[in-house]
Amino acid sequence: MLGRTALGKYRLLRPLGSGSNAEVFLAEPIRHPGQQVVVKRIHDHVVTHPKFRQMFEAEVRSMAEFSHPYAVRFLDAAVDDPIGPCLVMEYVPGVTLEALLETDKCLDPVRAGRLLGFLCHALQAAHAAGVIHRDLKPANLMVTGAGTPAEALKVMDFGFAGFAAKPHIQLASLTGRGPIHALGTPAYVSPEMIRGDPVDARSDLYSVGVVLFEMLAGRLPFDAATTDGLLAAHVEQPPPRFHRIGCGHVSPRAEGVVQLALSKYPNERQQTAREIAEGFGAALAEPLWEQTYPYGDEAAASAPVVRYTPAPAPARPPAAAPLLQAEDPFRVASRFEVSMPERLAAAKLRGFVEDFCGQVLSSEPGVILMRVGVPAGYKPAPPKGSGLFGWIGAIRRPTVARGQEPIEIELLMEKPDPALARLRVDIACRPLADFPPHNLAGWRDRCDKLHTVLRQYLGA
């Protein structure tokens, strides 16, 4: 890759590292030689994922919408570049906190507290913008000016963050079957992510607690031989007390801040990143929040920014086409808002599915697709031109009575205010292609009644 050009304007100079998802290069803008940027090229095996484009667009959108002096700045991106999908970010000279801890082992509380202050300022701003990082760890924290009075910290990979405005009710929560997917790195992941509970900004605060524990103790709070054992420890085991692992340099009051951040449930922790920084500062008698307040970053502010314009996504197959589209006489849609946390909404929707013998087809962030009234043994019709077997399948297709045609439902959900447990829900219904309604008025009346039932289940 060295010597090649990304996005037609960034020449790759040397590799900086490689991870499970991407390889990272130091590069220079062709029009501004002497300046340096970072190009992150996504690995080929990631690009083949069926939802890669969706994930890439979400990553770029997250990075483009959020900017802070203590977060690595997004500059440019391309999903269809000749060398592969790429992200371009500002270059921050320094060492990762992971590398720093490998050499220094553990940090004195005041030094750890200052780094904590920078981290908490970035998180406070991100959470206020509705952005959750979800993968905080020392490898994603860049320390600049390490070991000098100007030592500071910047958060990397906010691009892998999730927007809190898109609630994700996982498929297993709606059906009782299937795995719960926990994002993040096992050593730093929050208990609620492992349990499959709804995740908000306080999940990041747990990860902050793990990082702070590691800075002070020189080791992780939980150590297990297997990933499953490590995840179980996050959910079930209390972290060790500092005096039992030889960390007498940490005062009981400072330890209390760490232990509180490592609480198993979000309601038991500090509720904001600022609260962690101010609490730890009070324990040290140091105004950490004020000492690390960002007064601007002139170098980052002067760097050129190219607004990313996503390439058109390939057409989705007809079976997965969105329901919310105009000029469809059989589309019936409505909108409402309800004050309800995601976990309760999941339980209510699961009750609806069970009571109406429904089928949940998919559940992605902000989108749930389900069906009701599908006859037993139904399988989608094969594509046209499939010959004799398609004809046999059509003969065996179950029938339904008029006025009882199956209904496909799409729920679009978002949080108008990520800080509040309030959901905005769009409901849209349409018929299955194999069971077209015979009466438009009757069909719309059935859909209206179904909308009313869903509103009642969700307490609207």
Confidence bin at 324 (pLDDT 50/70/90): very low
pLDDT for 414-447, tens place per residue? 877 655 667 889 999 999 988 889 889 999 999 9
Q: Which of 155-164, 180-189, 331-340 has the lowest mean pLDDT?
A: 155-164
In whole numbers, what is the pLDDT of the chain averaged over residues?
81
Interacting residues of 23 by C-beta distance below 8 A, sequence separation 6+: 1, 15, 17, 40, 41, 43
- Whether the predicted pLDDT of 301 surpasses 50: no
Query: Is 60 exceeded by the pLDDT of residue 18?
Result: yes
Percent above pLDDT 70 for the chain: 79
- Which range (36-50, 168-182, 339-353, 432-446) has the least confidence? 168-182
Whole-number pLDDT of residue 382: 60
Least confidently predicted of 104-118, 205-219, 297-311, 339-353: 297-311
| pLDDT bracket for residue 325 (50, 70, 90) | very low
162 versus 423: the higher-pLDDT residue is: 423
Residue 132: CB atoms within 10 A of its CB come to 23
Task: Give the 3-state DSSP-derived string for 383-440, with helices as H, strands as E and coil as C.
Answer: CCCCHHHHHHHHHHCCCCCCCCCCEEEEEEEECCCCCCCEEEEEEEEEECCCCCCCCH
279-290 pLDDT, tens digit per residue, is: 999 999 999 999
Mean pLDDT of 379-401: 60
Asked if residue 165 has pLDDT above 60, the reply is: no
| Banded pLDDT at 377 (limits 50, 70, 90) | confident
Q: Answer whether 206's CB lies under 8 Å from 271's CB.
A: no
Residue 135 appears among annotated catalytic residues: yes
Q: Which residues contact 448 (CB under 8 A, 6 or more apart)?
A: 332
Q: What is the pLDDT of residue 364?
A: 73
More confident residue, 322 or 83: 83
- Residue of 44, 76, 104, 135 marked catalytic: 135
Spell out where 107-175 has E strands: 131-132, 141-144, 152-155, 162-163
Residue 331 exposed, middle or buried by CB count within 10 Å (0-12, 13-18, 19+): middle
Task: Please report the domains of the chain, with CATH numbers, ordered by start residue.
Answer: 1-91 (3.30.200.20), 94-296 (1.10.510.10), 328-457 (3.30.310.80)
